[in-house]
Amino acid sequence: MLYNKDMTNSRTPRRTQAERTRASKEKIIRAAMEFFAKQGYRGATLAEIAKAANLTEPGLLHHFPSKNHLLMAVLAERDRMDRERFDLSGMDDEEALFTSAQQLVEHNETVPGLVKLFTTLVAESVQEEHPSHEFFMRRYQKVREQVIDVLRDGQEKGKVRADISAEDLAVMIYAMMDGLQVQWLYEPEKIDMAGIFERFIQLLQVKL
Amino acid sequence: MLYNKDMTNSRTPRRTQAERTRASKEKIIRAAMEFFAKQGYRGATLAEIAKAANLTEPGLLHHFPSKNHLLMAVLAERDRMDRERFDLSGMDDEEALFTSAQQLVEHNETVPGLVKLFTTLVAESVQEEHPSHEFFMRRYQKVREQVIDVLRDGQEKGKVRADISAEDLAVMIYAMMDGLQVQWLYEPEKIDMAGIFERFIQLLQVKL
DNA sequence: GTCTATACCCTGATAGAC
DNA sequence: GTCTATCAGGGTATAGAC
Cα–Cα distance measured from residue A190 to residue A135, given in angstroms and rounded to the nearest whole number: 32
Query: Is residue B91 over pLDDT 90?
Result: no
Within chain B, all domains assigned CATH 1.10.10.60 are found at: 1-76
pLDDT of residue B142: 95
Query: Which candidate, B29, B8, B33, B2, places its Cα nearest to that of B121?
Result: B33
Cα–Cα distance measured from residue B115 to residue B112, given in angstroms and rounded to the nearest whole number: 5
Q: Which CATH class is domain B86-208?
A: mainly alpha
In terms of pLDDT, which residue wins out, B14 or B106?
B106
For the CA of A191 and the C1' of C13, the distance in angstroms is 40
Neighbours of B144 (CB within 10 A): 20
Mind listing the pLDDT tens digit for each residue in A17-28?
A: 788 888 999 999
Q: Does A188 touch chain B (CB under 8 A)?
A: no
CATH superfamily of the domain spanning A1-76:
Homeodomain-like (1.10.10.60)
Q: What separation in angstroms does the CA of B119 have from each of A143, B103, B104? A: 21, 19, 15
Mind listing the pLDDT tens digit for each residue in A114-138?
A: 999 999 999 999 999 999 999 999 9
Predicted confidence band at A2 (pLDDT cuts at 50, 70, 90)?
very low
Give me the mean pLDDT over the B110-122 stretch: 96
Q: Does A137 touch chain B (CB under 8 A)?
A: yes
Cα–Cα distance measured from residue A113 to residue A52, given in angstroms and rounded to the nearest whole number: 15
In A, which residues are within 8 Å of B137 by CB distance? 186-187
A87 three-state secondary structure: coil
Cα–Cα distance measured from residue A172 to residue A179, given in angstroms and rounded to the nearest whole number: 10
| Shortest distance, CA A22 to any CA of chain B (angstroms) | 31
Query: Is residue A36 over pLDDT 80?
Result: yes
Q: Does B34 touch chain A (CB under 8 A)?
A: no
In terms of pLDDT, which residue wins out, B178 or B4?
B178
pLDDT of residue B10: 47
Give me the mean pLDDT over the B5-22 stretch: 62
Give me the mean pLDDT over the A170-187 stretch: 98
Mean pLDDT score of chain B, rounded to an integer?
91
Q: In this structure, are residues A124 and B124 in contact, taking their beta carbons and an 8 Å threshold?
A: yes
What is the amino acid identity at position A65?
P
pLDDT of residue A14: 57
pLDDT of residue B179: 98
Q: What separation in angstroms does the CA of A208 have from each of A160, A178, A205, B204? A: 11, 29, 9, 19
Mean pLDDT score of chain A, rounded to an integer?
91
Please give the helix or strand (H or E) that residue A119 lies within, else none. Answer: helix A112-124
Nearest CA in chain B to A43: B42
Q: Does B171 touch chain A (CB under 8 A)?
A: yes
Nearest CA in chain B to A196: B168
DSSP assignment string, A174-198: HHHHHHHHHHHHH-TTT--HHHHHH
Query: Is residue B13 over pLDDT 70?
Result: no
Q: In this structure, are residues A25 and A72 in contact, taking their beta carbons and an 8 Å threshold?
A: no
Provide the total of helices (H) and of strands (E) in chain B, helices listed first.
Answer: 10, 0
Taking the stretch 47-66 of protein chain A, residues with Cβ within 7 Å of any atom in nucleic acid chain C are 50, 54-59, 62-63
pLDDT of residue B14: 57
Which of B39, B168, B186 shows the shortest C-beta gap to A196? B168
Within chain A, all domains assigned CATH 1.10.357.10 are found at: 86-208
Indicate the pTM of the whole model. Answer: 0.93
